[in-house]
Amino acid sequence: MKKKLLIATDSFLPRWDGIARFLNEILPKLSADYDITVIAPRFNGQLAEFKDISIIRIPLSRIRVGDYTPAKFCIRRVIKAVKQADIVWTQTIGPIGAPAILAARFFRKPLAAYIHSIEWELFSKSISRKNPFRNLISFLTKAAARCLYNKCSLLMVPSLEVAEILNWHNIRTKKNVIHLGADTSKFSPAGNKKDAKKKIGINPEHVVIGFSGRIGREKDLVTLYRAFLRLRKSYDKLVLLIIGKGVKELRIMLESKKDIIVIESVDNIVPYLQAMDIYVMPSLTETSSLSTMEAMSCSIAVVSTPVGYIKDYIKNSYNGLFFNKQNSYELSKNLAVLLDDEKLRAKIGENARKTIIEFYNWDKTIKGIEESLKEIIFSD
């Protein structure tokens, strides 16, 4: 008989972000071994069905944090779900994740958490700098994370660096490093780049610079926007393709300019990635950046800030290029190098895919998660 696995998360479909993408990939794999229930916010939009997986949807609150609207605190529903589970696996420490951790600890359930982000960094950078409570929110988030994560049986972390950061902040729970990866059979190069561009309605003669992810302040799309405008003065056949939604004023800024295409989050990102010639990750904070790995798996040349684990799996000038955070001039220069040298662009893209296939295949991620879940079952 299958064990009952409760996955508690404050990020889920149909709102696409890194956690939602992660769960979208992992749920079908885990359902073969577990009877899965997901408890998540009721975000607006159509939620696709998952075979053999139950979903409890919690109504949204009226609070807005950056580009994110959290769920209401429905503690009784969370407690009921935890009581019925054999194992609890949390993805976040919001109004759903935090009560799930506390309830699992109270009922002595095996409890694991996957650390998708350094929450206090993410919160502080996703809130406007004009917010007078920005530093206080960061301080309180750090204190809450320390308290909650120390109640878990096991923490799954995407890199050794994240484990060391948590250790530094007195989070003592055992940590298993499980690198994220990409499904290389799904995220594959376009058979024909021009056809891929036609398929999504872009002129096949244009070079496409792209980004996929949340349009949040912490992603620093303003730097990408400024770099693109500088490039447009020298390159005519150039398009900036942004896949995602988020902060309204940032979206309006992007949509106001010619040759910038903004498309809301889509269920299948692959055709859009395959149409890109260059992928840019301008983020101020990341842990692993699943979207960057997926772009690399599609043999796209990546230009990124050296943040989080990205600085370990990208080797500058081999499988990607780096630029310093918030430096639009340096970004534009790196992009110009790739725009001027199609062979270099192709070679960096090929090396990027080789890196993902060899070291960051999705099967390795799944194996690590499955082994960690079994570990807490037997240890508890």
Long-range contacts of 261-268 (CB under 8 A, 24+ apart): 261/202, 262/215, 265/14, 265/15, 265/16, 266/16, 267/48
Per-residue pLDDT, 335? 98
Percent of the chain with pLDDT over 70: 95
Model confidence band, residue 51 (pLDDT cutoffs 50, 70, 90) = confident
Handedness of CA 337, 344, 186, 97 (dihedral sign): negative
Least confident of 97-101, 211-215, 347-351: 211-215
Report the SS3 class of residue 116.
coil
Residue type, position 80, single letter: K
Q: Is the pLDDT of residue 129 over 70?
A: no
SS3 320: strand
Question: Per-residue pLDDT averaged across 284-305, rounded?
Answer: 95
How far apart are the C-alpha atoms of 79 and 91, rounded to whole Å? 16
According to the model, what pLDDT value does residue 4 have?
96
pLDDT of residue 247: 83
Checking if the pLDDT of 127 tops 80, the result is no
How confident is residue 138, by pLDDT bands cut at 50, 70 and 90?
confident
Tell me which residue has tokens 């082994």: 371
Distance CA 360, CA 362 (A): 6
- Quickly state the pLDDT bin for 133 (edges 50, 70, 90): low
Strand 3-8 with 175-177, pairing: unpaired
DSSP annotation of 317 reads T
- Distance, CA of 318 to chain centre: 24
- Could you give the residue range(s) of every CATH 3.40.50.2000 domain in the chain? 3-180+361-379, 193-359
Strand-strand pairing, 175-177 and 34-41: unpaired
DSSP tag of 345: H
pLDDT digits (tens, 9 = 90+) for 223-249: 999 999 999 999 989 999 999 988 888
Q: Is the pLDDT of residue 365 over 90?
A: yes
CB 227 within 8 A of CB 194: no
Residue 300 has pLDDT above 90, yes or no: yes
Q: Quick one: pLDDT at residue 301?
A: 98
Model confidence at 219: pLDDT above 70:
yes
pLDDT at residue 1 is higher than 90: no
Per-residue pLDDT at 372 exceeds 80: yes
Mean pLDDT, the chain, as a whole number?
92
Question: pLDDT at residue 193 above 80?
Answer: yes
pLDDT computed for residue 325 by the predictor:
96
Higher pLDDT, 246 or 329: 329
Q: What CATH number has the domain spanning 193-359?
A: 3.40.50.2000
Q: How far is CA 9 from CA 46, 73, 353, in A?
A: 18, 13, 30
DSSP state of 70: P
On whether the CB atoms of residues 7 and 23 are closer than 8 A, the answer is yes
Residue 56: count of CB within 10 angstroms of its CB: 17
Most confident range (mean pLDDT) of 50-54, 177-181, 348-352 is 348-352
What pLDDT sits at residue 125? 61
Q: At residue 117, does pLDDT exceed 70?
A: yes
- pLDDT greater than 90 at residue 77: yes
Nearest to 291 by CA among 257, 338, 242, 254: 242
* Res 280: pLDDT: 98
At the topology level, CATH places domain 3-180+361-379 in Rossmann fold (3.40.50)
Asked whether the predicted pLDDT for residue 122 surpasses 70, the reply is no
**Cα–Cα dist 378/380, whole Å:** 6
- Residue 324 pLDDT exceeds 90: yes
CA dihedral sign of residues 49, 59, 33, 148: positive
> What is the arithmetic mean of pLDDT over 307-330?
96
> Is 80 exceeded by the pLDDT of residue 256?
yes
